[in-house]
Amino acid sequence: MDHIEITNLTKTYPGTDKPAVSHVSFQIKKGEIITLLGPSGCGKTTLLRLIAGFERAEKGSIIIGEKLMSDDTSFIPPEKRGVGMVFQDYALFPHLTVIENVGFGYKEEDKKDRVNEVLDLVNLRGYEKRFPHELSGGQQQRVALARALARRPLVVLLDEPFSNLDADLRDQMRVEIRNIIKNTNTTAVFVSHDQKDALAISDRIIVINEGEIQQIGTPKEIYQEPVNHFVSNFVGRTNLLPGTVLSDNKSVSTCLGMIRLPEGHPFIKEESIGVAVRPESIHVSEKDGMPATVKSFIFKGDSIDTVVAAKMPCGTEQELILSLHPDKELQTGQQVYLTILPKNISFLKMTENNQRT
Ligand code: ATP
């Protein structure tokens, strides 16, 4: 049974001619963690606000926990939706202590026990009497999450919750927040423009561009089997080579040679498609493989981002980006040899979006 069901949702703001969210449909299961991922202005915050009830769609419906929250004729206001919010800046009350912040607006009889319970859950016992300015960014975030969870919401919505944290803390908080949400079996919808957040925290990712869903899948599916150039470029980096599906509809002709398409692929004969190769899927050796010259490289600590000019089997030269092991010794101008593993190649539809990016 789906816990959240969004059907054909469309929202156009007054005074604009293009919908911010257009014909969006998806389902979320109970306890699932979903990230709405996309670039600035793609409509992800609007979608979150529609689910919360801060905006009303002109078309489509929203069901949460079997209850119809919004459609063409009905609209349940935010405070009656059973939705908890965690805002980007945490929105804690500066003049209230941790315990007062977490208990704010909670009117049930078990208030004291429930507040203590969620403080345990987010590991903030001992901090009850502190004010927000006496807490670190990560601790403030945990207070905001505790406040959202205190009322046992049907779903918790989190708007870019990691964007104010520095890189180290961000890594740690992704794990912590995911664990806390999973431990409570709460359904959660994150909004993020950061692919690393989305890959680390989500059970499934919904990639959005220009108000429309591009792909829905697990982090692994989104990264390894992107369905179009927008997804493959937005989630990680990729080398994109043009290809043409052969008339047998089983292989694609590319500058690397003929590559077999997977069974059940969605392409038609003679279609122009994209062949995407991830930077970490290209192996480098001193001999054997496609010759290439190192043009530049940047040491990243855990990898070396390297740009090479490769002499492709079809005779042309193509710039490729590789991600190499940090122990690899490289010099600009050095001759290397490349091997691309067929299993790491993905095939993409060339839509209008692809051609623009
Ligand atoms: P960001 O990551 O920058 O917050 P986003 O993906 O969350 O972006 P939205 O805030 O949902 O995008 O905005 C989607 C589109 O709707 C944008 O073109 C934006 O300019 C427009 N928009 C958002 N809010 C309003 C509003 N209140 N009135 C008119 N247009 C709006």
Q: Residue 256 belongs to a domain with what CATH number?
A: 2.40.50.140
User: Residue 269's pLDDT band (boundaries 50, 70, 90)?
Assistant: very high
Has residue 112 got a pLDDT over 60? yes
Q: Which helix (H) or strand (E) holds 262?
A: none
Residue 351 confidence (pLDDT): 62
Has residue 25 got a pLDDT over 70? yes
Residue 300 confidence (pLDDT): 87
Q: How far apart are alpha carbons 313 and 296 in whole angstroms?
A: 22
45 or 165, greater pLDDT? 45
Given the DSSP bridges, would you call strands 239-245 and 304-311 parallel, antiparallel or unpaired?
unpaired
User: Residues with Cβ < 8 Å from 10, sequence gap 6 or more?
Assistant: 19, 21, 22, 23, 24, 57, 58, 59, 60
Residue 355 confidence (pLDDT): 39
Q: Which of 45, 189, 197, 207 has the most ligand 1 atoms within 8 A of CB, as the residue to mutate? A: 45
- State whether 225 and 251 are in the same domain: no
Q: How far apart are alpha carbons 99 and 125 in whole angstroms?
A: 10
Listed range (165-174, 268-277, 294-303) with the worst mean pLDDT: 165-174
Ligand 1 pocket, CB under 6 A: 13, 16, 20, 38, 40-46, 193
SS3 292: strand
Per-residue DSSP letter, 39 = -
- State whether 222 and 265 are in the same domain: no
- State whether 68 and 200 are in the same domain: yes
Residue 356 confidence (pLDDT): 32
- State whether 200 and 178 are in the same domain: yes
Q: What is the mean pLDDT of the chain?
A: 91
Domain that includes residue 304, residue range? 238-349
Q: Which helix (H) or strand (E) holds 132?
A: none
* Gap from CA of 43 to ligand 1 centroid (Å): 6
Domain boundary among 197, 212, 229: 229
Phi and psi, residue 32, nearest 5°: -80, 145
110 within domain boundaries: no
- State whether 259 and 291 are in the same domain: yes
Q: How far apart are alpha carbons 206 and 191 in whole angstroms?
A: 10
Specify the pTM: 0.87
The number of the ligand 1 atom at minimal distance from the alpha carbon of 48 is: 11
Residue of the CA atom closest to atom 21 of ligand 1: 20
Residue 97 confidence (pLDDT): 95
Q: How many CB atoms lie within 10 A of CB 268?
A: 9
